Amino acid sequence: MRRHGRATPYLFLAPYLLLFLLFVVGPAIFGLWMSLHDWDFQLPGKPFVGLQNYQDLFDPLSATAEPFWHGMRATGIFTVASVPFLVAVPLGLAVLLNRKFPGRTFFRAVYFAPYVLGVAVIGLMFRYILDTTFGILNAFLGVFGIPQIGWTTEQPWAFVALVAVTVWWTAGFNAIIYLAGLQDIPAEQYEAAELDGASTWQQFRHVTLPGLRPVSVFIVVITLLASANMFGQALLITQGGPGDTTKTALMVITETGFSQFRMGQAAAMSYLLALCLAIVALVCFRLMKERES
Amino acid sequence: MNTINRRLMLGGLGALGAAGVLAGCGSGSAGKPGAGPAAGDGGAKGYDGPAVELDFWNGFTGGDGPFMRRLVDQFNAENQNIKVKMTVMQWADYYTKLPTAVSSGRGPAVAIMHVDSLATNAARNVIEPLDDVAKALELKQEDFAEVVWKAGEYNGKRYGIPLDVHPLGFFYNKTLMSQAGLDPAKPPATADEYLAALEALKGKGIQGHWATPFPFTGVLTVQALLWQFGGELFNTESSKATWGEEPGVKALTWFTELVKKGYSPKNVAQDADAIALQNGKNAFNWNGIWNINTLKEKKGLEWGVAPLPNIGGTKAAWAGSHQFCLPKLKTPDQNKSTAARVFVNYVSQKSLEWAKGGQVPARKQVRESADFKALTDQAALATQIDDLHFPPPVPGIGDALGELNKAVNEAVLLKAEPAKALADAAARADKILEANRKKYGA
């Protein structure tokens, strides 16, 4: 084998590394710097305030603390409510779509289809579907004598609606990843299990699930992060309402940074959110790892 | 669609596309005024310099867009050496894009802004004063309604040339009124008449005034009521929110009672009030003047529009206003500055054409012309001109108003008592006002 120069691997990495430094590391460091200032890029004065922006987030009397923690609460509720469904429903779908039946490719496409729609499309569409008085959903439920439900204006229905819409919208993506994982499980394992007299459920429990473990870790973590970054659905469908109950942390950060132009405060919020997500992700990895060993 | 744009803007919801990395947006230096105030005649004498291209930004994505485009085309045809290129985007995007564009030197030469955004953008060095244009156009306060004219000023300087006023109006479904035995030619005009009409409608099983918890149209209605009850949104120094005082509480209580007394369904969703009026389910809707063109397109719908009924004792209505402004140019360009002023001058004089897009012209002379009076619907709402209110010209005032939106939302959804919701929101708004005073050094 030909030996390569010492720089070769780095040269191969360079194109991506450049983008990574320019668009991820650079802005991240700059954001940290920003969060220590009262920052508005349009104003000549950007006074250095030290950790004030962070302290304010823990001072209930400040202008930023209440919106931020309400946002964190909304994000937390949505994440806890949506992740189990976003992990379980696609698994079921993937198992079904992995079987051999006529029209399988068609159904695979159908379940993946919503994922290709933009958030603006699904947001607007569901605002019509979920409308309290004219929505097709309430009209349908009315047939069974169920009174009108304020899907976008009442709790807990607003969260139910947001979770359901998100599951419908993104389940196909997770299902595809599961499907790839399922196809990696050797058929011999199922044959062996069958010879040993394992029922379908036992095969699922003892062959499919362990075989999917690496894929599952990946899915749980990216789904957690995606749910914690929920933005468009709440912005378009509930507009953060009723009250500010579905105004997620990202919506609060966007509003603080880009509509009130308090970019220092918004950057501080972003870092706190990022820290929380990093902790959650680490805990998640640790848990999965322990179960493995 | 029109209402959606305005709503996104006013609701202070921030930009849709702004979810990107926050830090990535901080580049660019402070928007130091590149161009000094363009000297000369403010555009009154025309422009005879070399050919120049002007970017003109606005958020007229709705039915008003084509009317503005027509004016731009006319201007381009008549002015060979100036080419105006109009770019339209959603208002919400526009208000985040414009400052960034200006600070990186890619801003437009002319732009439209809502009156309540002028102070913020003036304080943030996004737009420059245009007193010279006002002087050149010989614009005086007498030419405009006082409130519209004053609203274009900040710190003693003029930043906006009023193009139009868009007040809230009282839209009603004539068919439903007839069904309830009401005279569609005589819409209710006082508190007693209004409640009697709602009661008559209720007798026929019609919920007469759908109350929405959203800025469009719920918060606008509550603001109008607050002024009618003699209140103000802020104290004179704009250092405290005063909507928690008696007039505000009366206003919000009156509005939530529409729901409690069954004149409105509970949990009305976004835009459902306006749609219900078109579908013959809702009789009354206090909505923006931009609704006129939407309703006109509905074939077979019998509707009318009148000034807001006087519920609180003082005539008052919410309104917005589109104003021309000149974004700062990073590299001074005398030709562009002059040409931009010529353009503003031109369109300002054509505001009758613009009125056809569903607005009230800001200029008194146009408003009182026979041609405008022939636009009967717009003219009906124009009679409110002296009773209109705007938020005070204070930078970041919209941040504080966002709290009022929350209070109205909670109260109309019957999740909080009006007085408590308003008081809590006012306390939060006070903090924002304080932070803003510090930030903008007022």
Residue A52 covered by a domain: no
In angstroms, the separation between the Cα of residue A65 and the nearest Cα of chain B is 11
Name the phi and psi angles at B18, rounded to 5: -95, 15
Q: In chain B, which among 106-125 make CB contacts under 8 A with chain A? A: 124-125
Q: Per-residue DSSP letters for B319-385?
A: EE-EEEEEEPPSS--HHHHHHHHHHHHHHHHTHHHHHTTT-EESBHHHHTSHHHHTSHHHHHHHTTG
The CATH number linked to A119 is 1.10.3720.10
Closest alpha carbon within chain B to A30: B23
Q: Which residues contact B265 (CB under 8 A, 6 or more apart)?
A: A132, A133, A148, B207, B210, B259
Do residues B111 and B327 make contact, with C-beta atoms less than 8 angstroms apart? Answer: yes
Nearest-10 crossing angle of helices B418-440, B246-260: 130
List the one residue out of B331, B433, B336 whose CA is nearest residue B391: B433
Q: Give, for all 293 residues of chain A, the pLDDT tens digit.
A: 567 788 888 899 999 999 999 999 999 999 999 999 988 888 888 889 989 999 999 988 888 888 999 999 999 999 999 999 999 999 999 999 998 889 889 999 999 999 999 999 999 999 999 998 889 999 999 999 998 898 998 889 999 999 999 999 999 999 999 999 999 898 888 889 988 888 889 989 888 998 898 899 889 989 999 999 999 999 999 988 788 899 999 999 999 998 899 999 999 999 999 999 999 988 888 887 766 55
**CA separation (Å) from B66 to A223, B61, B295, B428?**
44, 9, 18, 41
CA distance A84 to A107: 23
3-state secondary structure of B436: helix
Asked if B439 lies within 8 A of A40 by C-beta distance, the reply is yes
Q: Is pTM beyond 0.95 here?
A: no
Residue B3 pLDDT greater than 60, yes or no:
no
**CA separation (Å) from B78 to A64, A232, B19, B83, B346?**
52, 44, 42, 10, 10
Do residues B289 and B216 make contact, with C-beta atoms less than 8 angstroms apart? Answer: no
Residue A76 covered by a domain: yes
Residue A228 covered by a domain: yes
Residue B103 pLDDT greater than 80, yes or no:
yes
Average pLDDT score over chain B: 86
Do residues A291 and A212 make contact, with C-beta atoms less than 8 angstroms apart? Answer: no
Residue A200 covered by a domain: yes
Residue A62 covered by a domain: no
CA distance B360 to B366: 9
In angstroms, the separation between the Cα of residue A62 and the nearest Cα of chain B is 7
List the one residue out of B406, B410, B396 whose CA is nearest residue B427: B406
Chains A, B: CB contacts under 8 A, how many?
A: 164
Task: Write out chain B residues lying below 8 Å of A61, CB-based.
Answer: 431
Give chain B's domains with CATH numbers.
Answer: 2-15+23-163+321-349 (3.40.190.10), 167-319+395-440 (3.40.190.10)
Do residues B389 and B317 make contact, with C-beta atoms less than 8 angstroms apart? Answer: yes
Do residues B166 and B289 make contact, with C-beta atoms less than 8 angstroms apart? Answer: yes
Q: What is the pLDDT of residues B157-166, one digit of tens each?
A: 999 998 888 9
Number of domains making up chain A: 1
Q: Domain range spanning residue A251?
A: 67-292
Residue A111 covered by a domain: yes
Asked if A270 lies within 8 A of B22 by C-beta distance, the reply is yes
Please indicate if any CB of chain B lies within 8 Å of the CB of A231. yes
Please indicate if any CB of chain A lies within 8 Å of the CB of B31. yes
Please indicate if any CB of chain A lies within 8 Å of the CB of B415. yes
Please indicate if any CB of chain B lies within 8 Å of the CB of A36. no
Residue A32 covered by a domain: no
CA distance B366 to B356: 12
Asked if B399 lies within 8 A of A260 by C-beta distance, the reply is yes
CA distance A43 to B415: 39
Residue A49 covered by a domain: no
Please indicate if any CB of chain A lies within 8 Å of the CB of B77. no
Task: Write out chain B residues lying below 8 Å of A40, CB-based.
Answer: 124, 439
